[in-house]
Amino acid sequence: MSDWLTTVRQHHEGTYQHCLLVTDIAVDFGLSLGLGTFDLERLHSAAMFHDIGKARIPLAILDKPGRLEAEERALIETHPSAGWEALKENRNISLEILDAVRHRHEYLDGSGYPDGLGAESISDVVRILTISDIFAALIEQRNYKPSMPREQAYEIIQSMHGKLEVPLVAAFREVALNR
């Protein structure tokens, strides 16, 4: 499975660095929530692998500054299922981790992709990972964008009404602003 991380890294260093940052934030968040070792390990692996499907997305799209065309956006949106496909035959990857890789871009109000899941089908690991991932993407610096201050990134997360679990967003404040 670390082969896949190597593949992602060789394809796009920025995505690999993003996975490290998301893992850092997600584990911090998990610790602050008092998760046990088993859940923390699951969250750690889910965060490391969550964007593995980006190994299949052309660099011109991953690094494109500004708005994506509709076809480009459609292609980007294949990365969760591509990651799930890549990992699903691997017996070392648990179903919970596979679920997290596939469903990180789902939202509680059903507006996400690829399966348009609703709140009842979105696990706690996914909910924690999703908040951590959005925050990481906002605060990290990319070729095409500067990093955003943590306060501002947290405000954006707070403003995503209906999409994220409200008590989790409140609990995330401490991780977002004080770590």
Give the residue numbers marked as catalytic. 54
Q: State in angstroms the smallest separation of the CB of 167 from Fe ion.
A: 23
Q: State in angstroms the smallest separation of the CB of 50 from Fe ion.
A: 6
CB-nearer residue toward Fe ion: 35 or 52: 52
CB-nearer residue toward Fe ion: 106 or 133: 133
CB-nearer residue toward Fe ion: 52 or 108: 52
Q: State in angstroms the smallest separation of the CB of 42 from Fe ion.
A: 17
With beta carbons less than 8 A apart as the criterion, state whether 135 and 176 touch: yes
- What is the CB neighbour count within 10 angstroms for residue 25? 24
Q: What's the Cα-to-Cα distance from 115 to each of 59, 81, 89, 105, rounded to whole Å? A: 25, 9, 20, 9
With beta carbons less than 8 A apart as the criterion, state whether 8 and 19 touch: yes
Q: State in angstroms the smallest separation of the CB of 18 from Fe ion.
A: 6
Those residues whose C-beta lies under 8 Å from the C-beta of residue 128, and which sit 6 or more positions away, are 26, 29, 30, 33, 43, 168
CB-nearer residue toward Fe ion: 38 or 53: 53
The whole-angstrom separation of Cα 108 and Cα 116 is 9
Q: Is 32 helix (H, G, I), strand (E, B) or coil?
A: helix
Q: What residue ranges bind Fe ion (CB under 5 A)?
A: 51, 133
